[in-house]
Amino acid sequence: MSYEYRLPVVILLLVVGLGLFARTVFGRFRVLAAGKPETRWDLVENRVRSLLSVGVGQTKMFKEPASGLLHAFTFWGFMILGARTTQLFVQGFSPDWQLPFIEPIYAPLKDFTALIVLIAIIGFVYRRVIVKPKRIAYSGEALLILGFIGGLMVTEFLFEGLHFGGLIKTGGESATHAHEHLEHAPIGAILANWFATTGIDPKTQQILGEVNFWIHLAIVLTFMNLLPLSKHFHVITSLPNVFLSKLEPKGALSFVPDIEKALEEEKPLGLSKTEDLSWKQILDLYTCTECGRCEVNCPAWTTGKPLNPKMIILDIRDHVYADQARILAGGKVPTAALAISGEVSAEEAEAALPTLIATVNTDAIWSCTTCRSCSEQCPVMIEHVDKIIDIRRHLVMTRNEFPKEVGTTLKNIESKSNPWGMASGKRFDWAKDQNIPTLADTENPEYLFYVGCAGSFDDRAKEITLATAKILKAAGVRFAVMGKKEKCCGDPARRMGNEYLFQSIAQENIDTWKEAGVTKIVSNCPHCYNTIKNEYSQLGANFEMVHHSELIPQLIADGRLNLSAGEKQRVVFHDSCYMGRHNDVYEEPRAALQAIKGIELVEVERSEKLGMCCGAGGARMFMEEKIGSRINNVRVEQLLEAKPEIIASSCPFCMTMLSDGVGAADKKDSVKTKDIAELIADRLILPPAEDVAAE
């Protein structure tokens, strides 16, 4: 069969297909380039490691083993079959061209890979059409893409089987050539030998094989052009997005430079329009796979709140797509109706365009607990929380629009240095008659014990503070507190969106601590811990920060704490989001609990990285929960499945939410809520002098 006609046809297909693809992608890239600057090119070694693990290794996909395996095989298959696609296009120019040097190895790998991908595609179709997981919305586009991928595998097999089957049936040198090629292609050989035994004449087989060759190339180019126009754009952007993902501390929100100047000049702050997005945030939008993993793991969504992390991303993405023409024209394109009417100027028309913030539900924005479960579950490393907080920043600092409780809390922090609005003079009342050393009367303490607002003012949290102080004393740790001079760390203000208030408070704390010579800080509040450890560095301060759940097991391991045996107690541990997903501290608090003789530590399905938020994060501690079910009640129900006698935590906010949840479940008589510091303090064997002092 003559193949001279292939050259002009394949050139035409490539020119049209690649030309259209380049035009679309260039437009998307220009929007990306118009985003605000953001540094994501540092720490290359760490980025490569993340790319290989999450991107190539697909490790995040296996949190759901069945679908993860299907996706991983499809992804790996595409990577392997990319060489075959290249080979087929080159054969449009040179029909007999083979991959040099690697054909004997690659041919069998290609055959088995195509078969595995085909099986995976059948599995995906079955899952979408028959199983229908709730988190996956029906999508004709998805089925079309699956059809394209399956079609690529089928046409690959049919092309090789029919083409070489026809040569075998022809006999002579053609048959010898076919057998030589098929020597290393087991599935191709089976199909070719089968087609050679059919009643189809050799010439017809060659024509049918050629038809499948061109269908295959056409599918490749059509598929390629659909990618940037659909959710499957992630096929192109996912690996870059993983490589460029956030490597600085996960718990740190983005820093707003020169905020005081921006407020003085009345510049809009936060996220309200497309131009406010950074280029990396836009890349996030391009990369969403619409898999719904963020949705089903979001504590707000699963308890009936309007916040759906997936839809936040998709709504912003769709707005950016709709806004692309205006962005590429320098932001001066009026809407069609206004342009036609000619009644307004371009500037007035631009102002009349719908803004990005109009696409999101503000109730959804205020429902977020910033637990980061969405980002933890996302297989392509999308950062949902930063966009939600940026919208809060705009609502608070530019529009002055927020729930009533937010305004009250921010006013309390600003005027009283704590979110409850308690008198600053009462901040040290928890230490009455406890002989707690202060910075003012302690020379060169090893640690500043930063108590925090909850530990200073909340009656239940004060018990945790006292237990922590008792442990530090028993271990001989030289520590001191700030007493009445202590101020809020700024976490609630920042999570509520008042970046200016956060920076003001943080800078005051930094200046005070530096002047006092503080270098090491211990806290029993994960929110204080995360803020001081991960966010104060944005203001140039680097204190050595440790949480009591990290320090206590170290003190036990060093032999500085002696614990008595006690009655057997069945304990389930609730992971604080701000220690767990924000700072990857999971083993240390469990090690502390396991050091207590008599403790039987049990786990529930949703623990560690899969753990559900208590509902207090993101400054939700200070807001009413008026929509849907209470998150803390749902979380307690999960923990009660382990039939515990004690629900343990390492966060004063979690303690409040869990205690309320246990009460709502009418389990207060049978289930206690305890901080790990309280459990350790209850079992301490104190030296005689300390024992007397404690009494």
The pLDDT tens digits of the residues spanning 464-498 come to 999 999 999 999 999 999 999 999 999 999 999 99
Q: Picking from 115-119, 211-215, 319-323, which range would have the lowest pLDDT averaged per residue?
A: 319-323
pLDDT of residue 693: 46
Interacting residues of 491 by C-beta distance below 8 A, sequence separation 6+: 502, 527, 528, 530, 531, 619
In sequence order, the 6+-apart residues with CB closer than 8 A to the CB of 34 are: 275, 279, 327, 328
CA dihedral for 614, 618, 621, 627, sign (positive or negative): negative
Same domain, 542 and 579: no
Please compute Rg for the chain using Cα positions.
Answer: 31
pLDDT digits (tens, 9 = 90+) for 509-542: 999 999 999 999 999 999 999 999 999 999 999 9
Map residue 8 onto helix, strand or coil: helix
Ramachandran quadrant class, 352 (left: phi over 0; alpha: psi -120 to 50; beta: rest): alpha
Using alpha carbons, list the distances in angstroms from residue 371 to 125, 210, 548, 555, 619: 33, 55, 20, 29, 11
Query: Does 660 lie in the same domain as 569?
Result: yes
Task: Identify the band that residue 586 occupies on the pLDDT scale cut at 50, 70 and 90.
Answer: very high
> Which CATH number characterizes residue 87's domain?
1.20.950
In this structure, are 617 and 648 located in the same domain?
A: yes
Same structural domain for residues 285 and 418? no
Between residues 268 and 370, which one has the greater pLDDT? 370
Tokens of 103: 């054909």
Which H or E run contains 486?
Answer: none
* Token pair of 472 as six digits: 């530090």
Would you say residue 418 lies in a domain? yes
Quick one: 494 and 522 in the same domain?
A: yes
Reduced to 3 DSSP states, what percent helix, strand and coil does the chain have, rounded to the nearest 5? 60, 5, 35
Higher pLDDT, residue 433 or 334: 433
pLDDT band, very low/low/confident/very high, at 332 (cuts 50, 70, 90) = low
Burial class (CB in 10 A: 0-12, 13-18, 19+), 126: exposed
Give yes or no for a contact between 304 and 629, defined as CB atoms under 8 angstroms apart: yes
From 102-116, 318-332, 456-470, the region with the lowest mean pLDDT: 318-332
Question: Can you list the pairs that 261-264 forms with residues at least 24 positions away whose Cβ atoms lie under 8 Å?
Answer: 263/397, 263/500
Q: Which of 352, 381, 401 is the last residue in one of the domains?
A: 401
The separation between CA 655 and the C-alpha centre of its own chain, rounded to angstroms, equals 25
116 — pLDDT class (breaks 50, 70, 90): very high
User: Are 33 and 279 within 8 A, CB to CB?
Assistant: yes
Residue 548: domain span: 412-554
**DSSP readout, 32-91?**
HHTSBP----S-HHHHHHHIIIIIIS-GGGGGSHHHHHHHHHHHHHHHHHHHHHHHHHHH
Asked if the structure places residue 397 within a domain, the reply is: yes
| CATH number for the domain that contains residue 597 | 3.40.50.10700
The vertex-150 CA angle with 290 and 382, nearest 5°, equals: 20
Q: Which of 78-92, 143-157, 341-355 has the lowest mean pLDDT?
A: 341-355
Whether 301 and 179 map to the same domain: the answer is no
Average pLDDT over residues 44-66: 93
pLDDT band at 692 (very low <50, low <70, confident <90, very high): very low
Confidence at residue 182, expressed as pLDDT on a 0 to 100 scale: 84
Candidate from 2-11, 22-31, 638-647 with smallest mean pLDDT: 2-11
Q: In this model, does residue 340 exceed pLDDT 50? A: no
The β-bridge relationship of strands 569-573 and 646-649 is: parallel
For every residue of 636-693, DSSP letters joined together read HHHHHTT--SEEEES-HHHHHHHHHHHHHTT-TTT-EEEEHHHHHHHTB---HHHHHH
Domain end among 538, 554, 570:
554
Residue 64's pLDDT is: 86
Cα atoms in the Cβ-side hemisphere of radius 13 Å centred on 645: 9
Mean pLDDT of all residues in 438-447: 93
> Could you tell me if residue 254 is inside a domain?
no
What pLDDT score was predicted for residue 351?
59
Other CB atoms within 10 Å distance of the CB of residue 578: 30
**Closest to 580 (Cα-Cα) out of 251, 302, 242:** 251
281's tokens:
């945030």
Q: What is the CATH number of the domain that holds 348?
A: 1.10.1060
The answer on 677 and 570 residing in a single domain is yes
pLDDT band, very low/low/confident/very high, at 101 (cuts 50, 70, 90)? confident
Band (357; pLDDT cuts 50, 70, 90): confident
Residue 604 in contact with residue 638, Cβ under 8 Å? yes
If one counts the domains in the chain, the total is 4
Residues 290 and 236 both lie in one domain: no
Q: Is the pTM of this model over 0.75?
A: yes
DSSP state of 22: H
pLDDT of residue 695: 41
What pLDDT shows up at residue 350? Answer: 56
Q: Is residue 584 part of a domain?
A: yes
CB 549 within 8 A of CB 579: yes
On the question of pLDDT at 330 being above 80, the answer is no
404-436 pLDDT, tens per residue? 999 999 999 999 999 999 999 999 999 999 999
Rounded to the nearest integer, the mean pLDDT of the chain is 92
What is the spatial distance between Cα 629 and Cα 305, in angstroms, rounded to a whole number? 8
Nearest Cα to Cα of residue 162 among 105, 102, 226, 209: 209
365 lies in the same domain as 443 = no
206 and 272 assigned to the same domain? no
Torsion of CA 570, 576, 581, 585, to 10 degrees: -70
Provide the pLDDT for residue 342. 53
* CATH number of the domain bearing residue 484: 3.40.50
Q: Assess whether pLDDT exceeds 60 at residue 192.
A: yes
**Is 11 strand, coil or helix?**
helix
Question: For position 694, what pLDDT does the model report?
Answer: 46
Enclosing H/E stretch for 505:
helix 499-515
Least confident of 180-184, 285-289, 458-462, 549-553: 180-184
At residue 132, the pLDDT reads: 87
CA-to-CA distance for 381 and 623, rounded, in angstroms? 29
Let me know whether 91 and 228 are in one domain: yes
Which residues have a Cβ under 8 Å from the Cβ of 613 and sit 6 or more positions away? Answer: 299, 369, 371, 373, 577, 631, 635
Question: How far is the C-alpha of 468 from the C-alpha of 431, rounded, in Å?
Answer: 12
For residue 174, name the pLDDT band (cuts at 50, 70, 90): confident
* Interatomic CA distance for residues 682 and 190, integer angstroms: 73
**Do residues 251 and 576 touch, judged by C-beta distance below 8 A?**
no
The pLDDT score that the predictor gives to residue 338 is 46
Share of the chain above pLDDT 90, in %: 80
Q: Are 165 and 196 in contact (CB under 8 A)?
A: yes
Q: Is residue 56 part of a domain?
A: yes
- How much of the chain exceeds pLDDT 70, in percent? 95
State phi, psi for 251 to the nearest 5 degrees: -80, -5
The predicted model gives 429-449 an average pLDDT of: 94
pLDDT in tens, 224-277: 999 999 989 999 999 999 999 998 799 999 999 999 999 998 888 999 999 999
CB atoms within 10 A of CB 310: 24
pLDDT digits (tens, 9 = 90+) for 22-49: 999 999 999 999 999 998 988 899 999 9
Of 243, 274, 296, the last residue of a domain is: 243
pLDDT band at 180 (very low <50, low <70, confident <90, very high): confident
Phi and psi at 573, nearest 5°, equal -105, 130
Examine residue 248 and state whether it is found in any structural domain, yes or no. Answer: no
Q: Is residue 406 part of a domain?
A: no
pLDDT: is 572 or 171 the higher one? Answer: 572
DSSP per residue, 205-227: HHHHHHHHHHHHHHHHHHHHHHG
> Does 388 share its domain with 421?
no
Q: Is the pLDDT of residue 687 over 90?
A: no
